[in-house]
Structure 1
Amino acid sequence: MLNSITSLLILILVIPVDGSVFYGDPHSGVERDVILIENQAYAVSRSKNGAKGGVWSVQRKDDAAIGAEISSAFTVFHSSEDPNYGFGTRATGGSPVANWRKGEMNVWKSAQTIELSPTGFEVDGNAIRITYAENELFSFSASLSLPDGAGVPLISWDIVSKTKGYFAVAYTGLQERDPEKLDFLYQPLIWSWKRFPEQAVLTPESYATTPAVFTTQDKLTEGLAIPSSEIPFRFATASNSRFGLMLRTEGGMAKPMVMAPILGGQESYLETDGSHTFSIQYYLAGGTWTEGTDYLYQHVIEYPLERQNAMVSLNETFHNMIDFAMDDFYSGWVQEYKGYDYKFDVPYTVKNVSAIHPLSVAFTTGNQEIYDRRGLPMLEYLMSREKYLYAINALPEKQTQNPSHFLKGPAMELWEMASIYRLLGEKNTALPKEIERLFGKSRQLNLETEVSGASWKDYLARYLVDHGQEYLDSAILLADEYLDLTFYQYPSDFSTNAGLRDAQATFVNDYSSTWQELLELYELTQDRKYLDASYEGAKQLSLWTRSTPFAPDKSITVNEGGKVEGIFPGRRFKADSYEWQEFDMTTQIQEQVVPAWHTSLVGLLPEQPGTYVYGPIMLFHQAGAMLRLAYLKQDETLKKIAYNGILGRYNNFPGYYFTSLYTNVYQQTNYPLHPYLGIKYNAVFYNHLWPHVALIQDFLVSDAYYRSGGGIDFPALFSPGYAFLSNKVYGHAPGKIYDNENVSLWLPKNPFKTSEKSVNHLLGRDGENTYIVLMNTSPNPISETFHLRQDVFKWDSDREYSVEVLARNELIGEHTLKNGNLPVKLAAGGIAVFKIKGLCQTQYFPGNFNSQEISASRKQQYFRKEYSSSAIGTLTAMSFKSMEHITDFYVYSTSTEDHVASVQLDYKMGDEAWQQVTDKSYPFEFSLRMEKSDSPLTFKWKAIDAKGNSHQSEFVEIY
């Protein structure tokens, strides 16, 4: 240490641990309150309370009100024997946490602890070097530093062992707070809002989706985060996790804490003279917790926009998935049961999520085959089945996930039925009748989750169908009560976000709020309290999305050795257990060098806490809604999360769960084009196919909405699905492209010939003109000629079409289109809109017809009757229309194979001859199509019971 000021005029600070701050000669006795270190954003000085050794005052320089005191306190954990670190014991709320000997979740009880306080420190450049007394087991030092620029304070430490054993270090220098007084808290994975851990649990890196822990109280967010430099680019598991996050002290108070290494973890064992170093970030933010979260993402984590289109455009992925979903063999479609094979989880069952997904896509792509072969059968399935999951065989005593074998439907939430009713042009009376019949009735549609039937969402469904103001008033009243329960008073327990206090949160969205539904309510009412509540729910969910590790700016080798091991050991073949039958799950695939960001998991969500050990999933239904909120709230972070969650991730259906950052096997166009047992890398849930197609469509439309500042806006319906499979769907009504009204969304396959894969698109048509919306996902500008395929756009050869280039409500350029060639210039990350005048696109499907005239007629379109004969049961018949000249009829009974040997339907269409059709296996159902616009179907149901006796209905007529 220097003893005097040299001729070089060096400024010296000599600071004894329990003395005062001296400037210049330490023996002069001149005490001054000075800033020890500072950068553009922070200043650190010695606490004015001189009795506290090693306590620092940290101040944000842009706001005098943002400051706090922190100390240099650490706790060292030591065990001479293996502490048996593990992971899997579940804490209250359902999340696995770290555990030690005999399943102990409290690390403070798992080893010897040594509390450290500093003995001295000195200023070295922009760092405060802190020393500690020697211990017989180790030497320890630490520092508090400020990086150049506007970076947040960095707390670093170094431990050197004097004996071999297991060591861990926890930074414990923040002030304790009363958890009852906190406005918000966060410890991943599940502790947020006011859900304070009931035990002193530790979250390892593997479950630290956003690697931070913080509290918010009285407009001050204080937290600790892990620098990206401490998080290597690999898939973190419990065993290789480099750090752990804690919020609850052993005494039950709230204090953000970080442990590194984790006691008993990969880096915990040290030989004699072994060492371990680690650094963490400390930050302060003013305002609400949402502002604190923004500060965390933007200034602490420095969350990046990593992604763009990779191997193909998102539109190509969209159509690759459609082609796969339409393949009867590869897609897992079981035609006999009108559903998708659910064999990965529950063999001998089929499952559908929603019929509105294929119905919407059929309309927006103009593809009647999708309607005929998927949308309509899935609609019939969901109108008749009791639950989403249908057991093919009669139920054994025990079957996982509680499927139903019965036709006691519909297996849809009321809002889903209301949306399908509107999508189909409000022409069908079966859906409103079923909504009315089921309103207020509690049902179990998925697993054992209760659907009340009288929530604010159910009242809203009634309003959307018949527009009765009383239903909207009730929906608003109940929604406000929901806000009182879950928004104005943040949840402190782990009941579902629906406010059902006896229902345990399960899926990722259960731990947030029903923010997507609240966004729908805002769009309907324009009441900003629903927008604000929706926004906070999205921000809370953003903490669940994977924020690290960042992809390095380089290429990596994937599929090393020409093979990839699967996530799971085998496949399941029993319906009553989750038992695996093990076999070789190795995929042979060529080794390849790709940009690291291709395989990054930043931006992805867990399915639920219990399954996150298998990694995040790519079924990111929330991305479209996040983009809309990003525009409405001008939130850059939500935009980045949405883009990172969707862009450049897959060329086709990618399956479920992802672990390795060193494979791209799931990104291949042909990945799902194998028999079920030939798809080996991850889980395959075929029932997710159409929801995944629908979420891509929603993302494309919402991205255009975001990039255009709301100027491109297509009306949407909401599909609540189940679990977290909720998003907007389109196709029921025309929208606008800037000041051009009455434009229908159009998403045909392969509309362009171009080598440019960075551009996603939407098309529109208004009966006279064609619209093209191009969106550049690349950070580079694009200048290229797009060739419009003549078989798609139907342009006339040699004709010149006038092309207007549109921006926000103004004409910014003009071109001509000849022989399909369109010159395109796109800014980096930009949007371009082209209106091709006079290029008319005729819409053939769905057809245009007078839905009001059909709805106004009093002809019966729905029949339901409970018969005393168990062989007939409850008989239901309904009709659906998608085109003026086509009517589809569906007739089914609740009778099972226990009561019926076979069923015969005698029917005639209009004035045609009588016909017969027989069904000799359960479920007993008939689908018929009539290509006449106004003729009825007349039928009689005949059931033959097990004894050979005949049971008949009366003649029924429906239109």
Structure 2
Amino acid sequence: MDFYFTGMYRIASLVFIICFGFGAGAFGQSGKDIQRIRKEALEAFKPRFTVFYRTSNPKMSLRPSKYVDGYGIPTWMSTQGDENLRDGGRSASHYGDGFDSRILEAKMDKRTANSYLSAKGVDVKGKVRTEDGTVYWTFPEHELFRLEAKVSENEDGTLGLRFKLHPKKDGYYSVAYTGAPSYALKAVDEIWQPMIWSEKRFPNGPHMTLAFRAPLPTTLVERKGITYGVLAHPDEFPFDPLPTVSNSRFGIAVRNAEGKAQAQLFAPVMGGTGSKMAKGEDFEFSVVLAALPGDLTEAYESLARNHYGFRDYRRNSISSLNKTLDRMVNYANSSFSQFVDSLKGFGYSTDVPGAVKNVSSLNALEMAMVQDNPDMFWEKAYPMVEYMLSREKFLFSLDPKQKNQHPSRRLLGPVAPVSELVALHDIFGGENPFLIQMAEENFLKTRVKNLDVAEREDNWINALFLYKSTKDEKYLTKAKSGADQYLRNRVERKQTDFNDEYGKSFFFWIDFTNRWIELVELYELTGEERYLEAAREGARRYALMCWMAPKIPEGDILVNKGGKAPAYWYLKSKGHEQMSVPETNVPAWRMSEIGLTSESSGTCSGHRAVFMANFAPWMLRLGKYCNDDFLMEIAKAAVIGRYRNFPGYHINTARTNAYESADYPLRAHKKLSVNSFHYNHILPMASMLLDYLVTDVWARSNGEISFPSTYIEGYAYMKNKFYGHEEGRFYSEKGVRLWMPEGLLEIDNVELNYIAGRKEGKLFLAFSNQSPEDVKTTVRINPVLVRHLEKSGYTVYTDNKLTQEKKSLGRAGFTVNVKAKGLTAIVIEGVDFKSELQNKLSQETNLTADNTEYKSLEFGGAKAMLFKLGGFAPRAYIYLSDDDSQYSSVNLHYKKPNGKTVTIKDAIYPFEFTVELDTESPVPEFWFSATDKAGKRDVSKKFSFGGVVN
């Protein structure tokens, strides 16, 4: 056994001691500390501004830059161009949801991205005057304006600054506060400007980030244990309407006109809302000046908590996570999910019409196993396994002319990542050794699995997962030595560019941090603290991408005005119908994006926040290991109380509760217009929810309720743990299998989530309360799934302590008490279970073979594999790599035990065949016949896997 399964509980208790107190930040300071912080701020921040003025409209708009893939930055009309802007149109990768043609295809000539060249700037320096205990900054009069400012003290030691501009002429104005400390880049420890400049990746020019794209509306500069920031006051950043380019009232920047690192804020944005001013029309704005002890991520947390009210703010409210998961799995198995049976994939019509896309088979397989769901297994999971073993890329299109997002139409697989091949091998009990053969062969390759991004497979991450399966020490040695080199090159050195070999295209946010998720996996395998510390650092940098603003107002907000949900511009342009949804008042907190992230550098101008928060269970787990409440509360904020079913992809356009509805996704594609639907996301989101449920109970039980996992790599950020293939532990009970079929429990209070497990004669239930109030409610168990309830008894654990010995259960259900944010566990004895898939899938296959379960054939570049599926009959999966440019039709022939020849005809590409083998019969011989494009018929040699099915 590896260290993870035998020692993780000991690791957890040790780590809580090691990491305790790291994340306290300024929000937990004593009165003496606050005085010191205030003194530092008063000395650090100077009365300096730059006031910009021009008579004509500068036509501020976003344009793509040269920094990272498709990232747009604010620009203004100018007399000259800007070398930091990218001209040349859009690539094939830049088509689809979130890519705005208004940005990507706009002209670049005579535009500048330099904030200081947006208009004529006037630098003003003031004097400090104190009157009746109030600090004023006074400035000399100017022919264009008069400027006033007042400084106050905040409870956390930061300063409040409010300035007033009195225009003396009509025109366009912007005021930049430029009095924060400034340093040469080499003199600072770290900088941050959303969304892409972090660590020591520094803008090439004084570029601005508009308010709508600021997770927290400040830039930060860390130097010698102090982090400086200039934060927009929450009153300046309205919650409603949803922040957009057009309503951004301010901008922030980290590089100043002299090329130094300095926190700056511009309000209003030149050419933006409020920038056009009439003579005598005063403009006022408030900011927070912060000089906080600790590192940059601690300052971020402190400002988020103290000024934008971040906290554990969400609860289930509308649905338990279990009910949401059940609905989501049902949706995935419905016709609305756009699964194309003939192509074995989910439709991808939102971005690439006619294409299908899968990024993993493991999500469907996990749902089938944990929910004991044979329909999910046979209709989705197994066909998707075949897809991942045969396709060249995740995105498959039969249209040879389709170029958007670089699809493939070739069967040159496997496209499955090395980690997925290893996981499939382990999930099916090691009965399909050819999967390890495939994994080891692909470990030596560089592959293009998505878009046009080449990925080298020979790395420490894949070595880690190969070791977990094979226990071959060479892979553990490679995993640790590679990871240690990675720590030296990537973690211990602040990054100065976008050339991280693990960053791929620097598109998704996971590319901008270290590989903290995989470092968690390595820590759980080895127990070595350096991997945990590096993972925590990466996760806290990932938290910089999580929305902390705008501040959530008290009470309700009005949504769906006029009975219409907002129509997303991208779908509107494709002819989708605007949805009718009742106008209603909704608690503002339910509509908040806080805790979520936007999708990526290339689409964050169009996607406010995506619901695919696959990072959340990892953050929750890491937060528990390190006693880091910030990470744990972000994780909860990202998942809890947001939807009753699959909610589509993102929040955009305007605030709405349309996606909260249980029937929201149950519509034809063109009738969905609130947000985009990427149907291949449904099951990865289901895995995310299951991972969160299991991890939440693991954390609340201090690791005493825990189930083994393997790893779902998926694509980009769609990474989660896979559960259900191995037995786990429920307090002192070992050998418990995770078992959560749909409709297992009916609970009268939505605030309780649960996980369930079983072993011979026992049902195990753990209830987690998502609310800040104690819950007392009735729970009823489905008697069809769990039998003999009337003869059973149960034991109760409250917050990990045995509080009630055996008590009779009966058919009517039982009352459960769960403390606020607490955990109550129930162990029920004397029952039996109805299992439709789990039991049989976990059995061994009685098949004697001659190690030829996988064959490469000359005919048509065919591949053949014999797949063992526990107690179910094995399947032969056979496909041709040659396509319809070679053959017009292909037939597969084999003989049944009675001597009858069976012929399966396939006249439509792709040419692939699945044969359920007869039990207690010899594995048959197979052969092909095919007709080529000229009408000539060709017949292959016979081939066999050998062996007998017993």
- The answer on 1:97 being equivalent to 2:73 is yes
Match among 251, 269, 284 for residue 277 of structure 1: 284
How does the TM-score come out when normalised to structure 1? 0.88
Bigger mean CA offset, 645-654 vs 428-437: 428-437
Shift of 1:291: 3.2
Shift of 1:690: 1.0
Q: Deviations over 1:558-603 (max 9, x none)?
A: 11101123112447xxxxxxxx54x364111111222112211111
Paired AA for residue 355 in structure 2: T
Q: Do the aligned residues in 1 keep the contact of 2:394 with 2:450 (CA within 8 Å)?
A: yes
Paired AA for residue 864 in structure 1: K
1:291 aligns to what?
298
Change (3 A) 1:68 1:699: farther
Shift of 1:958: 4.8
Paired AA for residue 122 in structure 2: I
1:52 aligns to what?
none
Match among 420, 426, 447 for residue 422 of structure 1: 426
Distance in 2 (alpha carbons) for counterparts of 1:803 and 1:712: 15
Shift of 1:347: 1.1
Shift of 1:815: 4.1
Report how many residues are paired. 883
1:837 aligns to what?
829
1:902 aligns to what?
889
Q: Deviations over 1:887-917 (max 9, x none)?
A: 1221111011111121111124566643111
Distance in 2 (alpha carbons) for counterparts of 1:285 and 1:150: 10
- The answer on 1:603 being equivalent to 2:611 is no
Q: How does 1:595-744 map to 2 (within 5 A)?
A: 595-614=587-606, 615-744=608-737
Q: Deviations over 1:721-761 (max 9, x none)?
A: 11111111111111112222221111121222333111111
- The answer on 1:591 being equivalent to 2:583 is yes
Distance in 2 (alpha carbons) for counterparts of 1:85 and 1:441: 46
Distance in 2 (alpha carbons) for counterparts of 1:861 and 1:317: 43
1:954 aligns to what?
942
Distance in 2 (alpha carbons) for counterparts of 1:958 and 1:519: 42
2:51 aligns to what?
76
Paired AA for residue 72 in structure 1: P
Match among 210, 223, 227 for residue 221 of structure 1: 227
Change (3 A) 1:617 1:884: same
Match among 798, 820, 831 for residue 828 of structure 1: 820
Q: Do the aligned residues in 1 keep the contact of 2:796 with 2:802 (CA within 8 Å)?
A: no
Q: Do the aligned residues in 2 keep the contact of 1:805 with 1:812 (CA within 8 Å)?
A: yes
Shift of 1:936: 2.1
User: What is the DSSP-based 3-state SS (H/G/I as helix, E as strand, rest coil) of the residue aligned with 1:666?
Assistant: helix
Distance in 1 (alpha carbons) for counterparts of 2:132 and 2:576: 57
User: What is the DSSP-based 3-state SS (H/G/I as helix, E as strand, rest coil) of the residue aligned with 2:789?
Assistant: coil
Q: Do the aligned residues in 2 keep the contact of 1:494 with 1:505 (CA within 8 Å)?
A: yes
- The answer on 1:865 being equivalent to 2:856 is yes
Q: Do the aligned residues in 2 keep the contact of 1:260 with 1:278 (CA within 8 Å)?
A: yes
Change (3 A) 1:634 1:143: same
Distance in 1 (alpha carbons) for counterparts of 2:382 and 2:852: 16
Distance in 1 (alpha carbons) for counterparts of 2:34 and 2:611: 42
Match among 204, 207, 215 for residue 198 of structure 1: 204
Bigger mean CA offset, 223-232 vs 490-499: 490-499
Distance in 2 (alpha carbons) for counterparts of 1:912 and 1:128: 99
Bigger mean CA offset, 909-918 vs 631-640: 909-918
Q: Relative contact order: is structure 1 or structure 2 higher (C-alpha 8 Å, sep ≥ 6)?
A: 2
Q: Deviations over 1:834-891 (max 9, x none)?
A: 1112334364423368878869x55335232241xxxx22221112233324212211
2:17 aligns to what?
none
Q: Do the aligned residues in 2 keep the contact of 1:383 with 1:411 (CA within 8 Å)?
A: yes
Paired AA for residue 377 in structure 2: Y
Shift of 1:785: 1.9
Match among 917, 931, 944 for residue 944 of structure 1: 931
Distance in 2 (alpha carbons) for counterparts of 1:849 and 1:75: 69
- Structure 2: where are the runs of 5+ without partners? 1-28, 78-109
Change (3 A) 1:898 1:600: same
RMSD of Structure 2 on Structure 1 (CA): 2.3
Match among 412, 419, 424 for residue 416 of structure 2: 412
Q: How does 1:263-412 map to 2 (within 5 A)?
A: 263-327=270-334, 329-393=335-399, 395-396=400-401, 399-412=403-416
1:577 aligns to what?
none
- The answer on 1:932 being equivalent to 2:919 is yes
2:98 aligns to what?
none
Q: Deviations over 1:760-801 (max 9, x none)?
A: 11111122311111111112211122222222322333x351
Q: Do the aligned residues in 2 keep the contact of 1:120 with 1:132 (CA within 8 Å)?
A: no
Paired AA for residue 619 in structure 1: M
Q: Do the aligned residues in 1 keep the contact of 2:698 with 2:705 (CA within 8 Å)?
A: yes
Q: Do the aligned residues in 2 keep the contact of 1:884 with 1:933 (CA within 8 Å)?
A: no
2:548 aligns to what?
547
Shift of 1:152: 2.3
1:575 aligns to what?
none
Q: Do the aligned residues in 1 keep the contact of 2:37 with 2:157 (CA within 8 Å)?
A: no
2:19 aligns to what?
none
Q: Deviations over 1:487-533 (max 9, x none)?
A: 1112211135616xxx5311121111211111111111111111111
Q: Which has the higher helix share?
A: 2
Bigger mean CA offset, 543-552 vs 873-882: 873-882
Shift of 1:688: 0.8
Match among 156, 167, 185 for residue 162 of structure 2: 156
Change (3 A) 1:132 1:66: closer
User: What is the DSSP-based 3-state SS (H/G/I as helix, E as strand, rest coil) of the residue aligned with 1:537?
Assistant: helix
Q: Do the aligned residues in 2 keep the contact of 1:803 with 1:816 (CA within 8 Å)?
A: no
Paired AA for residue 385 in structure 1: R
- The answer on 1:789 being equivalent to 2:789 is no
Shift of 1:931: 5.5
Q: How does 1:243-262 map to 2 (within 5 A)?
A: 243-262=250-269
User: What is the DSSP-based 3-state SS (H/G/I as helix, E as strand, rest coil) of the residue aligned with 2:605?
Assistant: helix
Distance in 2 (alpha carbons) for counterparts of 1:255 and 1:513: 25
2:60 aligns to what?
85
1:177 aligns to what?
183
User: What is the DSSP-based 3-state SS (H/G/I as helix, E as strand, rest coil) of the residue aligned with 2:430?
Assistant: coil
Match among 796, 802, 809 for residue 794 of structure 2: 802
Distance in 2 (alpha carbons) for counterparts of 1:853 and 1:314: 35
Q: Do the aligned residues in 1 keep the contact of 2:34 with 2:156 (CA within 8 Å)?
A: no
Shift of 1:919: 0.8
Distance in 2 (alpha carbons) for counterparts of 1:301 and 1:210: 8
User: What is the DSSP-based 3-state SS (H/G/I as helix, E as strand, rest coil) of the residue aligned with 1:901?
Assistant: strand
Change (3 A) 1:586 1:42: same
Paired AA for residue 705 in structure 1: W
User: What is the DSSP-based 3-state SS (H/G/I as helix, E as strand, rest coil) of the residue aligned with 2:839?
Assistant: coil
Distance in 2 (alpha carbons) for counterparts of 1:737 and 1:296: 39
Q: Do the aligned residues in 2 keep the contact of 1:66 with 1:220 (CA within 8 Å)?
A: no
Change (3 A) 1:907 1:96: same
2:94 aligns to what?
none
Distance in 2 (alpha carbons) for counterparts of 1:933 and 1:498: 49
2:568 aligns to what?
567
1:26 aligns to what?
none
Q: Deviations over 1:159-185 (max 9, x none)?
A: 111222111111111221121232221
1:921 aligns to what?
908
Q: Do the aligned residues in 2 keep the contact of 1:224 with 1:256 (CA within 8 Å)?
A: yes
Shift of 1:322: 0.6
Paired AA for residue 87 in structure 1: L
Shift of 1:646: 0.8
State the percentage of identical aligned residues. Answer: 29
Change (3 A) 1:781 1:917: same
Shift of 1:942: 2.1
Distance in 2 (alpha carbons) for counterparts of 1:192 and 1:369: 46
1:145 aligns to what?
152
Distance in 2 (alpha carbons) for counterparts of 1:884 and 1:335: 25
Distance in 2 (alpha carbons) for counterparts of 1:671 and 1:697: 21
Paired AA for residue 100 in structure 1: W
Distance in 1 (alpha carbons) for counterparts of 2:743 and 2:845: 37
Distance in 1 (alpha carbons) for counterparts of 2:897 and 2:289: 77
Bigger mean CA offset, 658-667 vs 355-364: 658-667
Shift of 1:232: 0.8
Structure with greater Cα Rg:
1
